[in-house]
Structure 1
């Protein structure tokens, strides 16, 4: 049987924003018109809520970093009064990062990783559009029309327009970007070894250390790849200072490749990882 959290735990009580907390508001909230039944609420929320408590009990530093990276990304999107071809893609990617954090907190690890696939595709398309703003397929994609524009085609198209010193190597088939995207696709399409059940080792959601670590590290990797890509479209782009840590952590997957690409694109070597 479940038990209530102590009221001294800030997670024990839910809160609701006041109308004036929103940038656009239609006045005072109306009373509930079709309140959910308690058993339905419990059926939807009970297990994810339990997992969120357990994950936040033991992963405070990871959650702080993930939240901080999302806030940094918001700053990196650009000037809304002067949006470039990248702007809307980066804005939508921010929502995906936020959704990934929420899914991670509640134990939906596969769904979190699937959101990261969308991030990488959006950023890649944004770069392609920056380099080819009048391309018909890109224009159709922006207009919501049928288009076969996707990650693979954009990656190959961008590669053809890059010079060697622009980290062209990471756009090759089976290299850094293609390999990362394929891994993300496995989770997006719920392949047998990348399904919810495979991550939970159970029905779920449940607390699972291996899945938590996988989703956390994958999140950081996609942030790192995204910042590399942004630099190609915005040659004077400067990463938010706190996000430099993405290229300083030597335990990151593909760390050497990330450092090489960072050095190629940003013209400097990342700082050494902090020593405890």
Structure 2
């Protein structure tokens, strides 16, 4: 007989209107109901993957979900330090990043590994843009950036170059392990995340190692979502590395988070330590940044 685990995962239902801050007073009747065959073709494989993933990676999912909860609490703390959060690029960027982190977790849960990893590039780009505008304030450029205008577009190479010459970021550009320069943490991570965004089957690193970057490769050759533990572990490494790197930048850009007397949830320092504890392989520059933030 087939074993059945955690039956709560098999139930599906709508949330009532009162569960939402903004929503209709009553649930509208269906106007164009999907047929069972189409529903099944769309959801059957991802549902299967989500059940298998949650059978073997409950701790990973719990940690990632807790991270998102702590992230939005950090965003509220960040907003509390700013007179007009809607005009602050860092606050806007961190708020948007929260949605992308949630999406990344869900896509990994349902087996869309390539999309779950490529989304992390957006998180890094958003946060780095917010940090950049903190280092180089320009209200016009911020508005152009927020409105999606060409004049407000930022390129990662420019961000790296300009920040690497600006305090406090320049403090981490000496020695064997660096933050922003060529071969540094940002360069290393961003180049690999780009491999999952540019639409090629593989990413080949500096040493000739090939990493599959298409869903077919990440599914082990399957043509539909299937549970693949190696790809879950790959996503995990990228997910926690991206969040930790972003946290380091947020702390460097807004050190008042370190001394906030009444944080929404836990302290910024404790948040960083949680992520460090969930990370499988810290970049060697992390301890240097952490010591600086604690000063």
Q: How does the TM-score come out when normalised to structure 2?
A: 0.82
Match of 2:124 among 116, 120, 123: 120
Match of 1:68 among 52, 66, 69: 66
Cα distance in 2 between the residues matched to 1:15 and 1:105: 19
Summarize the Cα distance change of 1:165–1:154 in structure 2 as closer, same or farther, 3 Å threshold: closer
Does 1:16 find its partner at 2:14? Answer: yes
Does 1:185 find its partner at 2:185? Answer: no
Aligned length: 264
Does 1:140 find its partner at 2:144? Answer: yes
Cα distance in 2 between the residues matched to 1:210 and 1:248: 21
The alpha-carbon deviation at position 165 of structure 1 amounts to 6.7
Aligned to 1:201: 220
The alpha-carbon deviation at position 242 of structure 1 amounts to 4.5
Aligned to 2:249: 229
Cα distance in 2 between the residues matched to 1:120 and 1:104: 18
Aligned to 2:286: 258
Match of 2:275 among 246, 249, 264: 246
Aligned to 2:79: 79
Q: Does structure 2 retain, via aligned residues, the 8 Å contact 1:200–1:206?
A: yes
Segments of structure 1 that go 5 or more residues without pairing to the other structure are: 268-276
Aligned to 2:134: 130
Q: Does structure 1 retain, via aligned residues, the 8 Å contact 2:163–2:169?
A: no
Aligned to 1:274: none
Cα distance in 2 between the residues matched to 1:186 and 1:7: 36
Q: Does structure 2 retain, via aligned residues, the 8 Å contact 1:74–1:91?
A: yes
Cα distance in 2 between the residues matched to 1:18 and 1:249: 34
115-124 or 127-136, which moves further after superposition?
Answer: 127-136
Give the RMSD, CA atoms, in angstroms. 2.4
The alpha-carbon deviation at position 8 of structure 1 amounts to 6.5
Q: Does structure 2 retain, via aligned residues, the 8 Å contact 1:133–1:139?
A: no
The alpha-carbon deviation at position 139 of structure 1 amounts to 3.9
Mapping of residues 131-170 of structure 1, within 5 Å: 131-134=135-138, 137-147=141-151, 148-163=153-168, 166-168=171-173, 169-170=178-179
Cα distance in 2 between the residues matched to 1:59 and 1:179: 27
Summarize the Cα distance change of 1:68–1:192 in structure 2 as closer, same or farther, 3 Å threshold: same
Question: 1:39-86 CA distances to partner (integer Å, 9 max, x unpaired)?
Answer: 000010010000000000110000000000000000111227741331
Summarize the Cα distance change of 1:262–1:172 in structure 2 as closer, same or farther, 3 Å threshold: same
Cα distance in 1 between the residues matched to 2:194 and 2:290: 24
Q: How does the TM-score come out when normalised to structure 1?
A: 0.87
SS at match of 1:32: coil
The alpha-carbon deviation at position 186 of structure 1 amounts to 0.4
Q: Does structure 1 retain, via aligned residues, the 8 Å contact 2:168–2:252?
A: no
Q: Does structure 1 retain, via aligned residues, the 8 Å contact 2:107–2:116?
A: yes
Segments of structure 2 that go 5 or more residues without pairing to the other structure are: 203-212, 259-267
Aligned to 2:105: 101
Cα distance in 1 between the residues matched to 2:26 and 2:269: 38
Q: Any runs of at least 4 consecutive aligned residues in structure 1 with deviations exceeding 6 A, and if so which?
A: none
Q: Does structure 2 retain, via aligned residues, the 8 Å contact 1:172–1:178?
A: yes
Cα distance in 2 between the residues matched to 1:242 and 1:231: 11
Cα distance in 1 between the residues matched to 2:58 and 2:13: 21
